[in-house]
Chain A
Amino acid sequence: MSFLIIAYVMINVTVGKMRSVINELKKIEHVKSISVVAGEYDVIVRVHSNSLEELFEVTEKIHAIDGVERTTTHIVEKEVITE
């Protein structure tokens, strides 16, 4: 049984590249959900990985996407789901 590591990756996207960035993100394994938001960040991605190593690989793949300017990763320590 592997540990589940959940993380949020906040992404700033170059203007005009949104559509292609989303399409590339969808192809990355372990990316659970993608939200395009209005505000400080442009895209918030939720990642479910089995290890920190795997999380690193995911962020690496995100960095490689053309149009991704900057990312900030937040690792989830504890979570409450109320729905």
Chain B
Amino acid sequence: MKRKIFYLLGILSGVLSAIVIPLDIIGEKTAPNIWIYANVSFVVGSLISVLIVFFLLVPIKGKPLGKYVDPNFTRIKFISGKAFKQIVLMAFGNTIASLGYFYVLYAFSDPSAILPFMQAAVAYIILCEIFTEKDSPTISELHAISSILFGALLASMSPSGNIDVLGLIIVLTLVNGGTTIVALSQRKVRSVVVDARRYDSINIRLWYLLLTTLMFLVVTYIMNPSYVLEMFKIGNEVIIIVVVSMTITFFAKVTYIRAVGMGKASIVQAVSSVSAILGIPITILSNLLSPGYFVEISTNVWILIIKVIGAVLVAMGIILLALSEVRAIVLIRIRAGASPRGILESLSKIRGVIRVSAVTGKYDYVVQVKLRTLGKAYGLIASELDKIKGVEDYIWLSTLYEWEEI
């Protein structure tokens, strides 16, 4: 059940973000300048987010409406301390990614051909995880990463059969780099527990967007003050496009953050990368609905076939990653006289350990473990347990099935 909802949220987030791209293309063509459009997007987006959050405060059957979106939601909460630092990092990552995104939207003839490469960010996140684990990647991880990267490359082919190298580089460095920062710090915010509760996705999204807007306005003001000042002269049609686009984005992000709270960031990113596949039908559809705004769809069957092959490769990489994850519960007994506090700390420092509980009873600790592959169980967990002084005995219980109330 949990798994189904997790995947559903991931896919929904991908679908929603894919719909936003053609909307932004139309908006950018309607507005006088891309950076004015970007600023209007952020400011209107922030206003909409604040409005939506107030709407989510409305109580229904004694519970605020937002509780149905995220059970952790209770009220508007300032994010403080350790979590605030992560929110600032998220906003910083998003500012960089957005600068890249809007530039690609403006500078290249067919952005919907290059933007699917944003999905390759998942490969960056895994590489970061591998790097922090100081561990060599397994062959299946290499397989998945290369499948996603090559797949996205093929799917990015433009109708004329070219791949826009400069556009790709911008997406690969600015957009994906920023996205990776956002995804990694997002997970850290979610893991901060205050009063036995985690921060909810609605508050995270709200504060993160407000901070991003502030940073983005500052950056564009430095580029050219008129980008900020001329925002107020913008036409109504642009405002309407922005309102629709930002409302969809808000829900795309909430579903995304919600999914990240339930599972590994890399897998959420992987699942939501269905938008890479959706890029093709959505461009065709938007071309039919509003012709003139988009590049002609290629009538060359071979280019379409190559794009479909690319999309399938991305999907295969995603499935490979999602299926190889392993979870286990390790029960530990300690020797009499060993320091429980010290052991609790040593256990929580082991990579792959997601939760350590000191318990009463036959065993002293219940440790929850999550690994990308079972092959890492010895190197990461078992050999580390052997090193901790005071651990007398442990049993490894591999999880075969899991359900969680959400």
- Residue pair B398, A37 in contact (C-beta under 8 Å): yes
Q: Which of A33, A37, A39, A76 contacts B405 (CB 8 A)?
A: A33
Question: Does A13 make an interface contact (CB < 8 A)?
Answer: no
Asked whether any CB of chain B lies closer than 8 Å to the CB of A83, the reply is yes
Which A residues from 1 to 57 make CB contacts under 8 A with B? 4, 6-8, 22, 26, 31-41, 44
Chain A residues within 8 Å of B236, by CB: none
Are A72 and B329 in contact, with the CB atoms below 8 A? no
CA distance A75 to B402 in the complex (A): 20
Question: Is B193 touching A81 in the complex (CB atoms < 8 A)?
Answer: yes
The answer to whether B362 and A72 have CB atoms under 8 Å apart is: yes
| Partner pick for B400 among A37, A74, A80, CB 8 A cutoff | A37
Contact A74 B191 (CB under 8 A): no
Chain B residues touching A, range: 35 or more
Contact stretch, chosen from B72-80, B91-99, B178-186, B351-359:
B351-359
B229 within 8 A of A: no
A53 to chain B, nearest CB (A): 17
CB-CB contacts below 8 Å: B381-406 with A: 395-405
Map CB proximity to A onto B167-203 as digits: 1 under 8 Å, 0 otherwise: 0000000000000000000010001010010000000
Minimum Cβ distance to chain B for residue A39 (Å): 4
Establish whether residues B366 and A81, one from each chain, have CB atoms under 8 Å apart when the complex forms. no
The CA of A72 and the CA of B327, in the complex, are separated in Å by 21
Give chain A residues whose Cβ lies under 8 Å from the Cβ of B347: 80
CA distance A34 to B404 in the complex (A): 6
Contact with A along B332-361 (1 / 0, CB 8 A): 000000000000110111000111111111
B356/A80 in contact, CB under 8 A: yes
Are A36 and B401 in contact, with the CB atoms below 8 A? yes
- A77 an interface residue at 8 Å Cβ cutoff? yes
Name the residue of chain B whose CB is nearest to the CB of A25: B403
Q: Which residues of B contact A44 (CB under 8 A)?
A: 329, 366, 397
Quick check: is A60 within 8 A (CB to CB) of the other chain? no
Q: Is B357's CB under 8 angstroms from A83's CB? A: no
Binary per-residue interface labels of chain B (229-249) against chain A in the complex, 1 for a CB within 8 Å, 0 otherwise: 000000000000000000000
Nearest neighbor of A81 in chain B, beta-carbon distance:
B355
For residue A72, which residues in chain B have a CB less than 8 angstroms away from its CB?
Answer: 361-362
Within 8 A of A (CB), among B116-164: none
Give the most central of B191, B349, B404: most A CB within 10 Å: B404
A-B contact pairs, 13 of them (CB 8 A): A7-B359, A32-B404, A34-B404, A35-B403, A36-B400, A36-B401, A39-B397, A39-B398, A44-B329, A75-B359, A75-B360, A77-B359, A81-B355
Sample of 7 further A-B pairs with CB below 8 A, known A31-B405, A33-B403, A35-B399: A35-B401, A35-B402, A39-B397, A74-B362, A77-B358, A80-B348, A81-B193
Chain B contact residues, CB within 8 Å of chain A:
1, 187, 191, 193, 196, 327-329, 331, 344-345, 347-349, 353-363, 366, 370, 395-405
